[in-house]
Amino acid sequence: MNSPEKKIRVLVAKVGLDGHDKGAYIVASILRDAGMEVIYSGLRRTVSQVINSVIQEDVDVLGLSILSGAHETIAQKILAAMKENAIDDKLFIVGGVIPDEDISKLKKMGVDAVFTQSSNYNEMIDFIRSRVN
């Protein structure tokens, strides 16, 4: 657990072939402004690359941005890999174009929170702070 003084560390990641990264950049910038340390993975990462970064960078939060409709497949793979690497205590958030009916599916799967383009950023910041600290 982090002491309140320690900065919350976040990895914002893009997995798969989706090239839309506006949301990733905006989220990274907003979380930085909220005092967190944010790393952005860049485009087209594989699940294992992202999991390695989570471990190496010792982040508290993994935020995945997906706008290609592949969210179920990718989230499933990430969750399995987190478990396998015993890092499933870390916060795992999905953001992007996610239809409402899929949000509950993702949460049931084990995703901690889902945010979409109409979400409020303060809500996201509060959620991360309440769960990490």
Q: Give min distance, CB of 112 to another protein, in A.
A: 20
22 is a site residue for another protein (CB under 8 A): yes
Q: Give min distance, CB of 23 to another protein, in A.
A: 9
107 vs 95: CA distance, rounded Å? 12
Helix (H) or strand (E) holding 62, with range, is strand 61-66
The count of C-alpha atoms lying within 13 angstroms of the C-alpha of 86, restricted to the half-sphere facing its C-beta, is 0
Nearest alpha-carbon partner for 15 in 90, 65, 79 = 65
- Of the two residues 18 and 60, which places its CB atom closer to another protein in the complex? 18
Q: Of these, 34, 37, 39, 43, which contacts another protein (CB under 8 A)? A: 43
96 vs 118: CA distance, rounded Å? 10
Which residues make up the interface to another protein (CB under 8 A)? 16-22, 25-26, 29-30, 43-44, 46, 68-70, 72-74, 77, 97-100, 102, 116-118, 120-122
